[in-house]
Amino acid sequence: MALRTPLYDWHVGHGGRMVEFGGWDMPVQYTSIIEEHQAVRTAAGLFDISHMGRLSFAGADALALIQHVYSNNAATMKDGQVRYGLICNESGGIRDDVLVYRWPYGWAMVVNASNREKIVSWLAEHKNGRTVEIMDQTTTTCMLAVQGPQALELCRGLTEADAEQLAYYHATPTRYRDKGCVISRTGYTGEDGMEIMASAAQAVELWEELIRRGAKPCGLGARDTLRLEAAMPLYGHELSEDIDPFQAGLSWAVKMDKGDFIGRDGLLRRREDATLPRRVGLELSGRRAAREGAAVLSDGRTIGRVTSGTVTPTLNKAIAMAYIDPAFTAAGTVCTLDVRGKTEEARVVPLPFYRRSK
Amino acid sequence: MDPKTLRYAKTHEWAYLEGDVCTIGLTKFAVDQLTDIIFIDMPDVDDPVSAGDSFGEIESVKAVSDLYSPVNGDIIAVNEKLETDPTLISSDPYDKGWLIKVKVEKGTTLDQLMTLEQYEKQIASEEH
């Protein structure tokens, strides 16, 4: 049976349409994906992301273990900093994409729901006698995201520390109604905003307070269209064990000079391989959306596959991300897509599709 | 159109027969399930349709679904307004949001399709 977040009953009681995602029963939408999407682009949306895996690391060798499995460099992080990176397999394929948090007292990592158990066992497997304790806090805590141009203003005074005072990709431990929690200026929508991790027992009161403050509940449907417009990869679509970070356009999250880590040798080889497909953005001429799996063609020859696609609510056109033959990745390159048996014209465009105005 | 006078397919199309012309649309239940409808891919006039076969597709932000004809015949009209404004099917699924009109053979009936009462039982079971 699928897992439930502490907000499951709230979602069901408020018209949330529940679907299974990454082993969890999650709301895909409450009213309309377009409405929820626009709330995040123009005001503030609220997401239950308690399904994300929350791991905490303690012990003298916590940093050493993180460095061993993580493609980015955690050693240069300052207290309160958050950094994106990949966990790779030996050949350089992506096992997960994660956020690492550095605290004065230890480390934390947020991993994808669908990969949580895989990553927990991967960490245990690679501990190799290091002094580190890994605590999976996913089911004892909740995680909410408030995203949009009004998100930070609306959260003013919610917790003792304000997210507005944090720099982008920074976090701080603080308190909500006298209980410990963590806020971070991070998100997965292409908008400014904050994420908060608190005890599971506080999930409903925190959620309802954020709604009273003006945030609109949004489901995973809008989360998907928002991240797609912002060209953020989603594990299982743009990222997999067979795709490396260079193909995915995430070379900035790989630090070859930080010392050895799992996958580094594979990555050194793959970095030089100019034949591997690359992630690109595609904009379609028509309004039919190309979904995952649609073939990308040039002169009748298959040059790649779509990994995510939709008609975007903000831009009102069909967009997709795809992995294609590197010979065709230049912006402006025209190709065709096989959308359920019918040909649609598309062209390669620079990513992201949407960038917020500062 | 009054939903009580319509007949229904398992795949959520409604049908209304007047003489030898059958009007086909999508039920409010189906439209509500799809919510964010962004595109309807319609067939051409004069295309033949067969009962149970797909004649087009309806796309929402989240997914795409086929549209199935409940009858055999030839298409004599498509609702062109839906091409420019697919939201008509959400706001008015039984009138302005109709999909196609099919000329059926003489003697065609809709007896094989569900009544409103039978259809409501089906959707009640789908909601669980």
The enclosing domain of A339 has a CATH number of: 2.40.30.110
DSSP per-residue codes, A200-248: GGGHHHHHHHHHHTTPEEE-HHHHHHHHHHTT---BTTTB-TT--TTTT
Separation of alpha carbons A287 and A317, rounded Å: 6
Interface test with B, best of A224, A306, A340 (most B CBs within 10 A): A340
Q: What is the mean pLDDT of residues B80-87?
A: 90
What are the backbone dihedrals phi and psi of residue A326, each rounded to the nearest 5 degrees, phi first? -60, -15
Domain hosting residue B19, numbered range: 3-126
For residues A226 and A232, the answer to whether their CB atoms sit within 8 Å is no
Residues A176 and A35 in one domain: yes
In one-letter notation, the amino acid at residue A335 is C
Over residues A329-338, the mean pLDDT reads: 98
Show which residues on chain B lie within 8 Å of chain A, measured between beta carbons.
35-36, 38-39, 41, 57, 59-64
Do residues A199 and A319 both lie within one domain?
no
Per-residue pLDDT at A358 exceeds 80: no
Average pLDDT over residues A336-348: 95
Q: What is residue B62's predicted lDDT score, i.e. its pLDDT?
A: 84
Mean pLDDT of chain B: 93
Mean pLDDT of A30-37: 95
| Digit-coded pLDDT (tens) for B109-125 | 999 999 999 999 999 98
- Beta-carbon contacts of A286 under 8 Å, excluding residues fewer than 6 positions away, are A318, A344, A345
A310 to chain B: which residues are within 8 Å by CB? 61-62
A18, containing H or E segment: strand A17-21
Q: Which residues contact A95 (CB under 8 A, 6 or more apart)?
A: A86, A87, A88, A89, A115, A118, A119, A122, A241
Instruction: Write the pLDDT tens digit of every residue in A99-155.
Output: 999 999 999 999 999 999 999 999 999 999 999 999 999 999 999 999 999 999 999
> CA-CA distance, B75 to A320, in Å (whole number)?
33
The model's confidence at residue B126, banded by pLDDT at 50, 70 and 90, is confident
Range of the domain at A170: 8-52+138-229
Number of domains in chain A: 3
B35 pLDDT more than 90: no
Domain-embedded: residue A3? no
Looking at the DSSP bridge assignments, the partners of residue A29 are A17
Query: Please, which pLDDT band fits residue A220 given cuts at 50, 70 and 90?
Result: very high
Residues of A in contact with B62 (CB under 8 A): 28-29, 33, 221, 310
Residue A332 in any domain: the answer is yes
Instruction: List CB contacts (< 8 A) between B57 and chain A.
Output: 340
CATH number at residue A101: 3.30.70.1400
Q: Compare all CA atoms of chain A with the CA of B56 and give the residue at the minimum distance.
A: A340
SS3 of chain B: helix, strand, coil, percent, to 5: 25, 35, 45
Tell me if A306 is assigned to some domain: yes
pLDDT class of A327 with cuts at 50, 70, 90: very high
A118 occurs within a structural domain: yes
* Residue A263 predicted with pLDDT over 80: yes
Q: What is the mean pLDDT of residues A302-321?
A: 92
Q: Are A32 and A86 part of one and the same domain?
A: no
Q: What is the pTM of this model?
A: 0.92
Say if the Cβ atoms of A291 and B64 lie within 8 Å: yes
Percent above pLDDT 90 for chain A: 96
Kindly state whether residue A246 falls inside one of the protein's structural domains: no
A204 and A215 share one domain = yes
Whether the Cβ atoms of residue B96 and residue B41 lie closer than 8 Å to each other: no
Count structural domains, chain B: 1
Q: What is the mean pLDDT of chain A?
A: 97
Cβ neighbours of residue A350 closer than 8 Å, sequence gap 6 or more: A281, A331
Same domain, A328 and A214: no
Domain termination residue (choose one: A97, A119, A136) = A136
Residue A244 within any structural domain of the chain: no
Question: Is A128 in the same domain as A163?
Answer: no
Chain A contact set for B39 (CB, 8 A): 287-289, 311
Residue that finishes a domain, picked among A197, A229, A261? A229
How much of chain B, in percent, has pLDDT values that exceed 70?
Answer: 99
Instruction: Please tell me which residue of chain B has the smallest CA distance to A226.
Output: B61
Q: What is the mean pLDDT of residues A68-93?
A: 98
Asked if the model's pLDDT at residue B128 lies above 80, the reply is no
Residue B51 has pLDDT above 80, yes or no: yes
On whether both A13 and A118 belong to a single domain, the answer is no
Residues A238/A224, Cβ–Cβ less than 8 Å: no
Residues of A in contact with B36 (CB under 8 A): 32-34, 313
- The shortest CB-CB distance from A288 to any of B59, B60, B62 is to B59
**Final residue belonging to a domain, choices A113, A136, A159:** A136
Q: What is the pLDDT of residues A168-201, one digit of tens each?
A: 999 999 999 999 999 999 999 999 999 999 999 9
Residue B67 is part of a domain; what is its CATH number? 2.40.50.100
Do A144 and A221 lie in one domain? The reply is: yes
- Hey, are the CB atoms on B62 and A28 less than 8 Å from each other? yes
Q: What is the pLDDT of residues A197-214, one digit of tens each?
A: 999 999 999 999 999 999
Same domain for A108 and A146, yes or no, is no
Of A31, A221, A340, the CB nearest to B61: A221
Say yes or no for a CB contact (<8 Å) between B35 and A32.
yes
Confidence bin at B22 (pLDDT 50/70/90):
very high
> Do the Cβ atoms of B61 and A33 come within 8 Å?
yes
